[in-house]
A = this chain, B = another copy of it.
Amino acid sequence: MITLSDVAKKANVSKMTVSRVINHPEQVTDELRELVEDAMEELDYRPNSAAKALAYNRTNVVKVVILEDVGITEPYYMSLLFGIAKGLDKQQYALQLVTEREDLKLGDPDGYIITGARNTDSELLASLQAPVVVFGENRSGFDFIDTDNKEGIKMATEFAIAKNYQSIIFIGIDVKEPFEYSREAGYINTMQQHQMIPRIHRMANHSHLSQKFINEHWREFARNTIFICASDRLAVGVVRAILHNGGNIPVDFGVIGFDGVFLDQVSNPQLSTIRQPVQRLGEHIARMLLQKIAQSGAQQGELMLTPELILRGTTRD
């Protein structure tokens, strides 16, 4: 193993000079700096993160916490993890996955990335002893990152209007959480701007529930109706019910989902959807946390990334 001292010897300087070249290069003369850099290169020096962690009193570990019940594993989180891992790797950070509340207190990570948190989790999060960033809108003051939910639904609604769908119905998720409020707001605002009357139905986020709902109300839906759904799951159920009742997709009926992770692609026909940039969100939240750690816990604010409207088999051209 190559250490600072090895490099120092090779460059004929003290190891402190080498350390400075790495952490405070401006304090070293160009001459020495180049000498040291060459030596590092030649020896293929790799800093020892355990030693660094010990000196800084850090662990170089962040906990990634999934508070949501993932009975059926959401593919969503896979992409998110990929992104997070990518963001952390660049700084030689490692992660520990936590899926059970009890395990939250174990270990001493340098920070936490929280996903799937509900309003009721605020106290729990506030009690953590290291910097926290949250994945998903919240109004409890935690730094967060999320898709721009409002904007996403706005895009879909304006598309529906532009395509002359007569009736534009929103199928929402029956939860009192900011992400849902924002999605509904995007729908309502856009409808009102165009003097159209919003119509919202809410249910738990399961495809068989939206399927059942459409089946039971089938007679109420005239041709030229589009359903904008708060999730791909709901959208998949809607599609099934329309087809089951003999409705023609995409000619007479349209369906747009929300998420754009996995489900939209394996469904048949492939779903038009508002795709969240999940992996990028992951990268950004990792960066946000690392920065917060570097700034010893300073507030980072919020960041919203714009989703993309993907048009496929369930909307007409």
Contact = CB atoms under 8 A, between A and B. Distances in A.
Interface residues of A, number: 48
A86 B66 CA distance: 13
Interface string A71-100: 011110111011001101100101111110
Nearest to A106: B89
A74 B85 contact: no
Given A46-B108, A54-B51, A240-B268, A82 B75 contact: no
A64 B85 CA distance: 11
Contacts of A97: 81-82, 85-86, 89, 95
Given A79-B73, A82-B73, A266 B89 contact: no
How many copies of the chain does the oligomer comprise? 2
A314 to B, nearest CB: 16
Contacts of A46: 108
Interface string A267-288: 0100000000000000000000
Contacts of A78: 70, 73-75, 77-78, 81
Interface stretch (A131-139, A169-177, A181-189, A257-265): A257-265
A94 B92 contact: no
A297 interface: no
A1 to B, nearest CB: 7
A203 interface: no
B106 A96 contact: no
A49 interface: yes
A57 interface: yes
A61 interface: yes
List of 7 A-B pairs having minimum Cβ-Cβ separation, nearest first:
A85-B97, A94-B94, A50-B53, A75-B75, A50-B54, A78-B78, A61-B94
11 contacts: A49-B59, A50-B58, A50-B60, A61-B94, A78-B78, A82-B99, A89-B96, A89-B97, A92-B107, A94-B94, A207-B266
